[in-house]
Amino acid sequence: MKKITLPGMTLPVSRIIFGCMTLGDSWNRSEPITDAARSRAMTAVRLAMEEGINFFDHADIYCSGKSEEVFSQLLIESPHLRDQIAIQSKCGIRFGGDPTPYSPGRYDFRRDYIVSSVEGSLSRLQTDYLDILLLHRPDPLVEPDEVAAAFDALHAAGKVRHFGLSNHTAAQISLLRKSVRQPIIVNQVEVSLLHTYLLDAGIVFNQDDPAGLVHNEGTLEYCREHGITIQAWSPLAKGAVISGESRLRPDAAQAVAAEVAGLAADMKVSAEAIALAWLMRHPAGIQPVVGSRNPERIRAACQADGVELTREDWYRLFIAGRGAKLP
**Would you state the pLDDT for residue 121?**
98
Evaluate if residue 218 carries a pLDDT over 50.
Answer: yes
What DSSP character marks residue 103?
Answer: P
213 occurs within a structural domain: no
**Would you state the pLDDT for residue 200?**
87
The total number of structural domains in the chain stands at 1
CB contact set of 203 (below 8 Å; sequence gap of 6+): 211, 322, 326, 327
Say if residues 148 and 92 touch (Cβ distance below 8 Å). Answer: no
Say if residues 160 and 189 touch (Cβ distance below 8 Å). Answer: no
**Cα-based angle 5, 7, 13 (whole degrees, multiple of 5):** 25
**Would you state the pLDDT for residue 202?**
79
- What backbone phi and psi angles, to 5 degrees, belong to 295? -55, -40
Evaluate if residue 214 carries a pLDDT over 90.
Answer: no
What DSSP character marks residue 62?
Answer: G
**Would you state the pLDDT for residue 217?**
74
The percent helix, strand, coil of the chain (3-state, each to 5) is: 45, 15, 40
CATH code: domain of residue 57: 3.20.20.100
**Would you state the pLDDT for residue 205?**
67
255 occurs within a structural domain: no
Average pLDDT over residues 20-41: 95
Confidence band for 255, pLDDT divided at 50, 70 and 90: very high
Q: Higher confidence at residue 327 or residue 227?
A: 227
Average pLDDT over residues 191-203: 91
Cα–Cα distance, 81 to 42 (Å, whole number): 14
Max CA separation in the chain (angstroms)? 57
196 occurs within a structural domain: no
The reported pTM is 0.96
Q: In terms of DSSP bridges, do strands 3-4 and 13-14 run parallel, antiparallel, or are they unpaired? A: antiparallel
Evaluate if residue 212 carries a pLDDT over 50.
Answer: no
Evaluate if residue 208 carries a pLDDT over 90.
Answer: no
Cα-Cα-Cα-Cα torsion 92, 98, 103, 104, nearest 10 degrees, comes to 50
Average pLDDT over residues 123-136: 98
198 occurs within a structural domain: no
Evaluate if residue 24 carries a pLDDT over 70.
Answer: yes
CB contact set of 293 (below 8 Å; sequence gap of 6+): 22, 23, 40, 41, 43, 44
Of 140-144, 203-207, 242-246, least confident by mean pLDDT is 203-207
Instruction: Provide the domain limits for residue 88.
Output: 3-190
**Cα-based angle 19, 112, 179 (whole degrees, multiple of 5):** 85
87 occurs within a structural domain: yes
Confidence band for 210, pLDDT divided at 50, 70 and 90: low
Average pLDDT over residues 209-220: 65
Cα–Cα distance, 175 to 171 (Å, whole number): 6
324 occurs within a structural domain: no
Average pLDDT over residues 167-190: 97
250 occurs within a structural domain: no
Active site residues: 62
**pLDDT, tens only, 32-79:** 999 999 999 999 999 999 999 999 999 999 999 999 999 999 999 999
* Nearest residue to 200 (alpha-carbon basis) of 228, 223, 219, 174: 219
CB contact set of 253 (below 8 Å; sequence gap of 6+): 194, 237, 240, 241, 243, 244, 245, 246
Of 130-139, 214-223, 265-274, least confident by mean pLDDT is 214-223
Q: Higher confidence at residue 248 or residue 158?
A: 158
Cα–Cα distance, 107 to 58 (Å, whole number): 17
Evaluate if residue 159 carries a pLDDT over 70.
Answer: yes
SS3 187: strand
317 occurs within a structural domain: no
Evaluate if residue 143 carries a pLDDT over 80.
Answer: yes
Provide, rounded to the nearest whole percent, the portion of the chain with pLDDT above 70: 96
